[in-house]
Structure 1
Amino acid sequence: MKNNTSGIFSVRNKSIDILRALTMLLMIFVNDVWSVSGLPEWLGHAKWGQDMLGLADVVFPCFLFVVGMSIPYAIESRFAKGIDATDTIAHILTRSLALLIMGVYIVNTESGLSPESGMSFNLYRILMVAAFFLIWNVYPKTDKQHLKYTFSALKMAGLLLLLFLGIIFRDANGGILSPRWWGILGIIGWTYLICAFVYLFTRDRLRYLIPIWILLIIICILQTPMKEGQSILNLPGDNFFNAMLNILHINNGALSAFTMGGIILSLISARYRDVKKSQRLIFAFIVAFLFIIAGYITNEYWIISKLGETPPWVFYCTGIAIFTYSIIYWLDSTGKTTWAKIIEPAGKATLTCYLVPYVLYAIRFVESPEWFRNGFPGLINCILFSFFTIGITYLLGRIHIKLKI
């Protein structure tokens, strides 16, 4: 795992924080916009089997891309501080486990809550989020022993609360707590686990990382059903190849390809940061355009589908992510990102920002009037809710309530 060029990550890349914040803002927005009627179809998700790329279909892959961009900085920062590989492996495993646990709890509540659980749906979700914060909150550093004991007691209380909620859980059909499809956070956890380990053992060697990304794209092309209904690699349902992909949670490779793509872009961006801004921007635009062309070409054979994780979806969203990051990087390098201050908490306390809406929905005692959940007023409502969530995240940070795994 030795590396002689880890110094290229010694300078923090603020553009990644801005892209993460912008992506989280949009994620809150699209998660809220489903409740509004009378809006253009392109703002939401494409339905199963629909050949369309909605705004909501772009947000999650862009977030996975940002996760990948952050991985080299996070891992190299640990090595720069003298933290060894063993501790870094443990860190990757614990981060992934935390995301998996939170993802499982959240995705189970999406199936409703049976009266057998002994509490209301809203109370259950509030206690669930409270447990997350008790366990994974960034408690202030202190030398006072009684405060250390207090913080340890709070973490233990959160763990016991989460265990209690898991035991009593019954969904609307009587089902118990189970992985199901892992939820958004769980998917991020599995993808992060795979890609972080890949980077840990390859470091900044593009000669290994690029072929791995290409392999993921090839798997996506071979495994994804085409428009006529069959995939190119049309293997029987039970086979060793698919079994291994499922065990590793790679599936058809699409989601891991986004995160690996982010790692590669981060490496290239850091390695060539001394190149002229105009040249970097032109190169990035060319690469983004090539991905868009690849999406257009592959759309002849596959539909554009987030639910199907199809090749055109991967290519289009990768192109959009590269294009967006390049614009933000150029704006930041020219001092034109003061506008990003308002969404900064979403980039620095991203997990907190993601969980805040679950509490806000649960404590919403008064239903919005019908006219405020339809058309343009409903759209404004969603925008205001997104910024309100970021504001709550900022205020929580001021009183030392911030999740970090």
Structure 2
Amino acid sequence: MQKERLISLDVFRGFTILLMTIVNNPGSWASIYPPLKHAEWHGCTPTDLVFPFFIFIMGTAIPFAMPTKHFDLSVFHKILVRSLRIFCLGLFLYFFGRIEVFSLEGIPLLLARILITFAVAYALLGNFTLKIKTYLVLIIFTVMLFLAYSGIPAYQDVRIPGVLQRIAIVYFFTSILYLKTNLKIQVAVVAFILLGYWALMALVPVPEFGKANFDKATNLAAWLDNLLLNGHLWAASKTWDPEGILSTLPAIATGILGMFIGQVLNMSITKVEIVKRMSIVGASLIILGLVWDVVFPINKSLWTSSYTIYTAGIATISLAILYYIIDVANYKKWIKLFLIWGVNPMIVFFFSGIIPRILSSIKIQNPKIATEEINLQTYIYNDNIVPLFANPLNASLFYALSYAVFWSLILWFFYKYKLIFKV
């Protein structure tokens, strides 16, 4: 039996997903305000908080979703199936634009891809029995991995890691740790992961490159990604992945820190005392992260130990503020927008990634150059939005905000009719 939903956590999740949608969908990647960009390498911008916030929130929700610490084979089965469903949703995003159906091309092929997408989404998000869920996810998972390693040209370099894939892995290990251990062991595991990751990255020589380093493409995490996932990495780098193998370890620590805060929220103490404890923990984590940054720089792509602690601290303070405003002061008049985003996160994440891929697949004649074709997304932005603004940064931001408004209307409809899609 699940505990009553914590509204402040839903609002925090909604704010995070809304920000994610805005930063992931600018009109032009060449025209972005600095706070809406990721740090070039070391450092942390507001955009670099989105992913760790989402993992932190997922960890915080675990004690509410699993109020009774009971672990057996059936519970393990549920956790595994849910993890695989999330993993498959993320993996499918990279398959969408590569799907081939017989000899179809153009609009017929796009329609076939859309139909397959809805079929996969229904299979992974539908409310089936656990037995049927298991069969469906195993079929989808097996088919995608087979295609990725089949040697078929369309799929031979499809990306395997990704945001949802990392979330799935973190959820799997964090859930089991919560059910099998107490707070002391969980804190010890976080310390072991973060110190161990620092030691690996800072002390272990990198094969083929020499001494340990934190540089792009030549650090230990990058070397391991290229060794084990060669040809299936982030297209922008090809030799390393920001959601790679080794850097997933500290991401698990982010989930555990969120889980720790979830247990604080469940303590049998006053709400004001909960806010005080969260504030102390959050401030301590921020300070510790900034101190560690001196020797192990805050870096999202490497998910460094300092980045893990620093972002978890900011997440804790943010949640403490929301918890005080919403659950202590009971001031809730402003929350509806964030609430409708917070209760349906997975469907937003999945389809907000699919829609731009659809728009970029539709080719139309360039109104300015008759002999040239452009995709629909480029046409909407360049020919209908850019002319409205003197500053290209404002045009790009307007496009992102318009996309967020589009999704807000959809989510309001879902919320009004109590349509909540869970993995």
Shared fold (TM-score greater than 0.5)? yes
Contact residue 75 and residue 88 of structure 1 kept, 8 A: no
- TM-superposed CA distance for 1:30, in Å, is 1.4
Q: Please give the per-residue CA displacement for 1:155-202, whole angstroms capped at 9, x wherever unaligned.
A: 99999899888888899x925268744221111111111111111212
In the alignment, what sits opposite 1:284?
278
Contact residue 12 and residue 338 of structure 2 kept, 8 A: no
In the alignment, what sits opposite 1:217?
194
Contact residue 197 and residue 249 of structure 2 kept, 8 A: yes
Contact residue 27 and residue 59 of structure 1 kept, 8 A: yes
Equivalent residue letter for 1:15:
S
In the alignment, what sits opposite 1:100?
87
Q: Please give the per-residue CA displacement for 1:282-301, whole angstroms capped at 9, x wherever unaligned.
A: 43333222222222222212
Equivalent residue in structure 1 for 2:302, among 298, 305, 308 = 308
Between 1:370-379 and 1:294-303, the stretch displaced more is 370-379
Cα 1:301–1:177 change in 2 (3 A) is same
Equivalent residue letter for 2:183:
L
Contact residue 27 and residue 397 of structure 2 kept, 8 A: no
Contact residue 113 and residue 169 of structure 1 kept, 8 A: no
Contact residue 92 and residue 196 of structure 1 kept, 8 A: yes
Contact residue 295 and residue 315 of structure 1 kept, 8 A: yes
Equivalent residue in structure 2 for 1:23, among 16, 20, 42 = 16
Equivalent residue in structure 2 for 1:41, among 31, 34, 41 = 34
Q: What is the 5 A alignment of 1:391-402?
A: 391-396=409-414, 402=420
Structure 2 alignment gaps of length 5 or more: 204-209, 229-243, 360-375, 387-391
Structure 1 alignment gaps of length 5 or more: 1-6, 142-151
1:230 pairs with 2:226? no
- Give distance in 1, aligned partners of 2:105 and 2:45: 37
Equivalent residue in structure 2 for 1:372, among 381, 385, 395 = 385
Equivalent residue letter for 2:410:
I
Equivalent residue in structure 1 for 2:66, among 58, 75, 82 = 75
Bigger relative CO (Cα 8 Å, ≥ 6 apart):
1
Equivalent residue letter for 2:88:
I
- Give distance in 2, aligned partners of 1:283 and 1:155: 40
In the alignment, what sits opposite 2:178?
199
Query: Percent of aligned positions with the same letter in both sequences?
Result: 20
In the alignment, what sits opposite 2:56?
65
In the alignment, what sits opposite 2:119?
131
Q: Please give the per-residue CA displacement for 1:111-132, whole angstroms capped at 9, x wherever unaligned.
A: x668987445854653343123
How many corresponding residue pairs? 368
In the alignment, what sits opposite 1:262?
258
In the alignment, what sits opposite 1:354?
349
- Give distance in 2, aligned partners of 1:375 and 1:104: 31
- Give distance in 1, aligned partners of 2:416 and 2:143: 30
Cα 1:105–1:341 change in 2 (3 A) is same
- Give distance in 2, aligned partners of 1:288 and 1:404: 29
Equivalent residue letter for 1:189:
A
